[in-house]
Amino acid sequence: MFTRILIAFLLLACLAVPATAATFNVSVTSNRFVPSSLTIHVGDTVTFTNAGGFHNVVADNGSFRCARGCDGVAGGDGTPSASAWSNSITFNTAGGVGYRCEVHAGMGMVGSIEVEDAPASTFNPNQHGLSGSWANAATDSQGVVLTVWPDLVAPGRGSLFGGWFTYDVSAAGGQRWYTVQGDVSSNDDSATMPIYQTQGGAFDSNQASSTAAVGQAVMHFDDCTHGSLAYTFSDGSGRSGTIPLTRLLANVNCSADGTNTGGGAYLRSGAWADLGTSGQGLVMDFNPPQGVFFAAWYTFLANAGQNAGGAGQHWYTLQAAIPAGFSTLTNVGIFESTGGVFDQHATTTTAPVGSANLTWQSCSSATMTYTFTAGPNAGLSGTLDLTRLGPVPAGCTL
How does DSSP classify residue 121?
Answer: P
Grade residue 113 by pLDDT with cuts at 50, 70 and 90. Answer: very high
pLDDT at 117: 86
In the chain, alpha helices (H): 4-15
Residue 348 pLDDT exceeds 60 = yes
pLDDT at 180: 97
> Cβ atoms within 10 A of the Cβ of 364, count?
17
- Residues 6 or more apart whose Cβ sits within 8 Å of residue 240: 35, 231, 232, 233
Grade residue 10 by pLDDT with cuts at 50, 70 and 90. Answer: very low
pLDDT at 7: 41
How does DSSP classify residue 13?
Answer: H
Task: Assess contact for 71 and 49: CB atoms under 8 A.
Answer: no
Classified as helix, coil or strand, 173 is helix
Grade residue 8 by pLDDT with cuts at 50, 70 and 90. Answer: very low
Polymer length of the chain? 398
- Residues 6 or more apart whose Cβ sits within 8 Å of residue 120: none
Averaged pLDDT for residues 353-372: 98
Separation between Cα atoms, residue 298 and residue 280, nearest integer Å: 5
The pLDDT tens digits for 14-73 are 333 334 578 999 999 989 999 999 999 998 999 999 999 999 999 999 999 999 999 999
Separation between Cα atoms, residue 218 and residue 194, nearest integer Å: 9
Strands 45-52 and 23-29: parallel
Averaged pLDDT for residues 347-351: 96
Averaged pLDDT for residues 138-142: 94
Closest to 229 measured CA to CA, from 250, 246, 212, 213: 246
Task: Assess contact for 90 and 100: CB atoms under 8 A.
Answer: no
Separation between Cα atoms, residue 226 and residue 289, nearest integer Å: 19
Beta-sheet strand order (sheet of 95-100):
37-41, 110-116, 95-100, 57-59, 65-67, 69-70
C-alpha triplet 376, 281, 288: angle, nearest 5°: 105
pTM, whole model, 2 decimals? 0.76
How does DSSP classify residue 118?
Answer: P
Task: Assess contact for 50 and 68: CB atoms under 8 A.
Answer: no
The pLDDT tens digits for 276-328 are 999 999 999 999 999 999 999 999 999 999 999 999 999 999 999 999 889 99
The pLDDT tens digits for 163-201 are 999 999 999 999 999 999 999 999 899 999 999 999 999
Separation between Cα atoms, residue 102 and residue 390, nearest integer Å: 47
The pLDDT tens digits for 256-278 are 999 877 889 999 999 999 999 99
Averaged pLDDT for residues 225-252: 96
Q: Which domains does the chain have, with CATH numbers?
A: 21-116 (2.60.40.420), 124-388 (no CATH)
Q: What is the mean pLDDT of the chain?
A: 92
How much of the chain exceeds pLDDT 90, in percent?
A: 88
Strands 328-338 and 349-362: antiparallel
Task: Specify the DSSP element, H or E, that contains 41.
Answer: strand 37-41
pLDDT at 14: 37
